[in-house]
Structure formats: structure tokens, C-alpha cells
Amino acid sequence: MLISISELRKIYRMGEIEVRALDGVDLEVDAGDYLAIMGPSGSGKSTLMNLIGCLDTPTSGEYILNRQAVSGLDDTELAHIRNREIGFVFQTFNLLSRATALANVELPLIYARMPAAKRRQQALEALDRVGLGDRVKHQPNELSGGQRQRVAVARALVNRPSILLADEPTGNLDSKTSEEIMSLFDELNSAGNTIVLVTHEKDIAKHARRTIRLLDGRVVSDGRRDDSRAQP
């Protein structure tokens, strides 16, 4: 079991007001799974993503990631887990505008203090994997929106993380480019990558093999597609 979440709660207090962003979530995710998290605004899906991504800590409950209990870790320990276990893909790409595609993808390896030669080779392999082996010297303003997101995916993959965590990864893309990016995620999952996808779009969620829906901080449905019905 790659992810095991039990009775997870996140409660925000503003004066006398208590907001239960997550209210007793149970979730298990196996290695190699392809999960979409859906729900309306305020349902708790962004809070759950932040907790899975070790960007925040729960008020109570247990979260075990790759056999390590992370619920009670401090900020330094969470940062170490993030860098080692999780690759993030965001809606807004979050690329350095004056750096090349290669330099952007190398960033996580710099934080990991990987030697320069090995870092460059691993970043080149990641860019090649997302179909941008011929764009390594291009800066973001020289790339299309879809190519920028591919750079972001390569950066997420370069550390060879346990989980690829994507938050509305097609939110800034047109429908054709969105489908191309989702096809890339499908290929990565078929190659063995575990993907957790947060989205409000049904057309995007249908690519996943499993979909959970949140409402008022709770899981209200958890369904898995037959392989014959899932996207290849």
C-alpha cells in the first residue's frame, strides 16, 4: 500500500467559527494506481491534495506514505518527504521564465544536491520521456502552453517520485492540448507511475482508473473503472 489514510481531519478555526475542511477521510492507494479526486468548491479536495502532498499537516488522523507515518512530521521533515516522494504538476506550470526547459527540470535535483553531470543526464531523460528532447534549450516564452506543461511534468518526474500529484493540470489549456496532456498522463500510468489527479472536470477525471468524490469534507463515493472502460 503506497498511501494509507485513516480518519483524516483538517479543522480551521476563525474565532468561534470552526470549519471542517476534511471530516474523517479514509483512503488507500496502491502503487501504480490512477486516482482522480473530484468535488465542488469547498468540498475539501484541495485540502486533501495539500495533505497528500505533504504541504500541510492534518488536525487529527493518520497518513502513511510509502510505509512512513507523515501526519506528525515537522516542516523540515515534510520538505524532505516532498522532495523524495512526490512530483507536483500545477495548473499554472510554475516555471522559471528566464531558465531553459533543461534548467527548470534540473531544479529538484539541485535541491537534492545531485552532482551536475548526473543531474543533467537525468533531466534530459525526463524531457525526452515527455516528448521534448528537442526543446531542452528553449525558455518558457518560446514554448506553447502544452509544451510548458510537459516541462512541468518532466520536472515532476525527474526525482523519480513515488507519486505524481497533479492539481487541475489542464486548467490553463485548450481542449485539444488538454487531451494531449491527459494522454501523456495515461502513458506515464501505463509505465507504472502512480498518479493522483485533482480536477472538477468529468472529461479529465474519466482518464483515471478510479474516482473518489468529496462533499463537505467527506468521501461520498469511490468507484473504479474496468480496464476495458478506462482510457488506455
Categorize the per-residue pLDDT at 72 as very low, low, confident or very high, splitting at 50, 70 and 90.
confident
Q: Does position 143 have pLDDT exceeding 90, yes or no?
A: yes
pLDDT at 123: 97
pLDDT at 192: 95
- 15 vs 34, higher pLDDT: 34
Q: What percent of the chain has pLDDT over 90?
A: 89
Residue environment code for 39-56, b if the CB has 16+ CB neighbours within 10 A, otherwise e: beeebbbbbbbbbbbbee
Cell of 83: 522532495
pLDDT at 232: 43
Computed over every residue of the chain, the mean pLDDT equals 94
Q: Does position 19 have pLDDT exceeding 60, yes or no?
A: yes
Arithmetic mean of pLDDT, 72-87: 91
- Tens digit of each residue's pLDDT (9 = 90 or more) over 83-132: 899 999 999 999 999 999 999 999 999 988 999 999 999 999 999 999 99
Categorize the per-residue pLDDT at 227 as very low, low, confident or very high, splitting at 50, 70 and 90.
low
- Tens digit of each residue's pLDDT (9 = 90 or more) over 180-219: 999 999 999 999 999 999 999 999 999 999 999 999 999 9
Q: How many CA atoms lie within 13 A of 16 on its CB side?
A: 0
Q: Number of helices (H) and strands (E), helices first, in the chain?
A: 7, 10
Q: Does position 58 have pLDDT exceeding 70, yes or no?
A: yes
CATH topology of domain 3-224: Rossmann fold (3.40.50)
Task: Please state the pTM of the whole predicted model.
Answer: 0.91
> Is 106:182 a contact under the CB 8 Å cutoff?
no
CA distance readout (Å), 105 to 100, 176, 208, 221: 9, 24, 25, 36
Q: Count the Cβ atoms, other than its own, within 10 Å of residue 93.
A: 22
Instruction: Provide the 3-class DSSP secondary structure of residue 34.
Output: strand
> Beta partners for 23?
9
How far is 123 from 120, CA to CA, in rounded Å? 5
How far is 132 from 100, CA to CA, in rounded Å? 12
pLDDT at 210: 97
Closest CA to 210 of 79, 22, 27: 27
